[in-house]
């Protein structure tokens, strides 16, 4: 079945940066700290607690990260992306509503 030409812009997401340069070095040393702040460790634990409870699966979690608006994706740190994915998924699953998430962010 021929679907005709497909534009990469129509299927690529901002996270698909394969071959892109200019984002600086990645620290791959074994002495690098896994968390730079306490909140990052809490986000990490929350992600796996919610996975364990079956609120979402790892593919849905990854997809929620990849659906971040491009500017937010590029500006966010690793665990900020994880937190944004949690916020998206708890709203989509009806655990909390968007207003509650936004109120918590403001607080």
Statement: the pTM of the whole predicted model exceeds 0.85: no
**Which domains does the chain carry?**
56-107 (1.10.472.20)
Residue in the structure block whose two tokens are 């990645």: 26
CB 87 within 8 A of CB 101: yes
- Mean pLDDT split into 10-residue runs, the chain, 107 residues: 46 60 73 87 97 97 94 93 97 94 88
Helix (H, G, I), strand (E, B) or coil at 96: coil
pLDDT, position 12: 62
pLDDT, position 33: 80
pLDDT, position 30: 75
pLDDT, position 15: 65
């Amino acid at each position: 079945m021929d679907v005709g030409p497909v534009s990469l812009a129509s299927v690529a997401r901002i996270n698909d940066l394969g071959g892109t340069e200019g984002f600086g070095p990645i620290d791959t040393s074994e002495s690098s700290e896994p968390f730079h702040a306490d909140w990052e460790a809490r986000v990490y634990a929350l992600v796996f607690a919610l996975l364990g409870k079956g609120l979402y699966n790892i593919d849905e979690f990854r997809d929620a990260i990849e659906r971040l608006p491009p500017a937010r994706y590029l500006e966010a740190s690793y665990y900020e992306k994880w937190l944004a994915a949690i916020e998206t998924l708890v709203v989509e699953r009806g655990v909390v509503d968007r207003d509650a998430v936004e109120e918590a962010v403001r607080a």
